Amino acid sequence: MGVTNPSDYTIVPHASEQIQKRFGQTLDTMRGWAERLLKLSEFVKHEENGRDWYRYQDIAIILDVKKRQVITMFPYPQDAIKLEKKPINPELQTEVLDMVDKFLMKKRGTLAEALNSKKENIESAINGFHVDHSEDNLTDLREVLNDFRNELEKYDMFVAETKLITRK
């Protein structure tokens, strides 16, 4: 089971730097990406220094639960880092990266369709709130916008995982 209340956690500067370097996240995408990983992660162990290890697929997540901080994230097992240092056949690398580019283009098309299908819901919720500024209409608007944001976060997560594998 994932971390409880992941939105309560702050990302310390060291973790922010490492997430940018290792997983290709930007300051704009990092928060949502990290929260999603925390939600989906599994507890691994508790250390005597008060830090907890979690893991999402092949990403280790180190937290200070008392301070509610993300301390760092890194590929786990560590030999995942060493893979990029091994020489790869350039022809194979070109073919694989071309396939990845085509696959990501297809994923962007799927994302565009998913977002487009939600367009009417967003317009309806905005119009409803514009006409009647009630708390219920505001709640409806937030739900629709969160649904939209979740689609974008799923795509960002997929891209980040692709970058982790391909180092692209």
What integer is the mean pLDDT of 13-34?
88
pLDDT for 118-164, tens place per residue?
899 999 999 999 999 999 999 999 999 988 888 888 888 777 777 76
> Residue 35: CB partners within 8 Å, gap ≥ 6?
6, 7, 9
pLDDT for 26-83, tens place per residue?
888 899 999 999 999 999 999 888 899 999 888 889 999 899 999 999 887 654 444 4
Q: Could you tell me what percentage of the chain is helix, strand and coil, using 3-state DSSP and rounding each to the nearest 5? A: 65, 15, 20
> Residue 85: CB partners within 8 Å, gap ≥ 6?
none
Task: Output the pTM of the full model.
Answer: 0.52
Residue 90: the pLDDT is 77
